[in-house]
Structure 1
C-alpha cells in the first residue's frame, strides 16, 4: 500500500511524555496523501512494516494522520528503534535482491596461509644456511648460528611486548634473514680483503669487524628509518610488518657483529692460526 520511496526521513528518538523509544517518520507529498487515506480507513488496526517480506514492526494506527508526520512506538529499547529507523531509511530498491550463493570462510584458510608463511621461513633459512656454509665454510656456520639467534630474538621481543606474529610479520622475518646475511657478508669480505693485503689472521679478523661495523650500522639505519615511517603512517598489516622489521634491525646489528665476533674469538682461542679458510 505504501512503499519506502514515499518516505522522506526516519529517525530514532525518545517520547518526551513517557521516555519510550520511538521512530519519527515523515513522508513526501505523495506519501502524505496515501498515508492519510490509509490511516483514516484503518484506525485501530495494525499496520505492518516489512523489509524483504519480514515484519520489522507492526504498530497500531491510533488515529488518522494527514500531516505527513507520524511516530512509531512499541520498541524494547533505543537500539532496536535505531535499527528499525536505518531499515526504513534504506527505502525501496528498484529491483528485488535474491541471494544466489552464500559462503562462509572458516579458520582453515588462515591456517593454510600461516603454514605457507612458516614454510617460507624454513626454506629461506635452509637455502641461506647451505649457501653460507658452502661459500664461507666454518665462518658461514657461525653466520648461520647468528641468524638463528636473530630469529629467536625477534620472537622473544614480540612475546615480551605481547605482540602477535601475523603473516606480514612472517614476511618481515624472511626479509630480515636476507638483511642479516648481508651484514655477515660485509664482515667476511672485509676479512678476506685484509688477508689479501698480507695481514695476520687475528689482525684481519679484528680489522674486518671494525671497518665493516660502520657500513653495517649505516645500512641498517636506513632500513630502520623506512620501518619506522611504515609503522607511523601504515595501518593493520603494514604495522605488523614494520614492527618485526624494526625489531629485526636492532637484533641483527648485535648478532652480526658482537655475537659473531664473540663466537669466532671463542673458537680460535689462543691458538696461532697461520691460514684462514674463508
Structure 2
C-alpha cells in the first residue's frame, strides 16, 4: 500500500509545484496546490542599478543569502554586456554565504567564501560571522544581498560591527492571492488536509499574517498542534514556523523538496512522533 494513501497534502510553494504533486501522487496521496507566496523579479532597470552598484561601489565584502539572487544578478549583467566585469569585480571581494545553493552559485563563478553558515539559516550565517570576528568588519564596506525580505538581525550585526553596508535585493516576495489564502486557511482550520508542505520562509509568514488578519491565528495553531502536520523543507522555513508558535514540524535531513515528500511518506508509514523535529 502506498505510504501516502488517503492523505491530502497541501503544497504551498509556487516553484516545482507540479513536480512535487507528481511525487505525492506516486506515494498514493492527493496533492493540493495552494501557493502562499509569489516571487516577483525586479524590473530590468532596477537590476541594471544593482549590477552597477556592485561594479562601482568600493565594496570589500559580499554577503550572499541565496543562490537565485546571485544568478539573477549575473543574468542581468550578461544581458547588459557586463558579465565579465562583474565576475572580475566579485573575485576582488571577500565573501560570506548562507546555504548550499548559494555556495554552488559562487562556486560556478570560481569563488570560495571565507565565511559560511553552519546550518543553512540566516541565524547560522550570523553565528559564523560572529565567530569570524566582528572586529574584522569594522570600517569595511559590505554588499548585503537579501532574499526578498528584510533581515534585521543580519543588518544589526554589521551596524554593531561599525561596517558600512548597502542592501541588494534582486527579487522580492509578494503576497499570494487572497482567494487562495482564504481557501487554504479554511481547509486547514476545518481539518480537511493532513499536511502542509512549505518550501521557503515567506510561505508560513504569509499564511500566519493572513490568519491574524482573519482572527483565526489561534485556530490555525491548534490545528497544527494536534491535526494537520507542518512539513518544512529546511531549518530556515522551520524556524519561521517555530517563531509563529508551531511545534510539530517535520524536517528532512537533506534540504531538498523531493526529500521532504519522501520523509513525509515515511513518517505517515510509521506514525512516530519522535521523528518530528
TM-score interval for Structure 1 and Structure 2 normalised by the shorter chain: under 0.3
Q: TM-score, normalised by structure 1?
A: 0.18
Q: Greater RCO between the two (CA within 8 Å, min separation 6)?
A: 2
More strand by share: 2
TM-score (norm 2): 0.18
The structure richer in helix per residue is 1
> Whose Rg is larger?
1
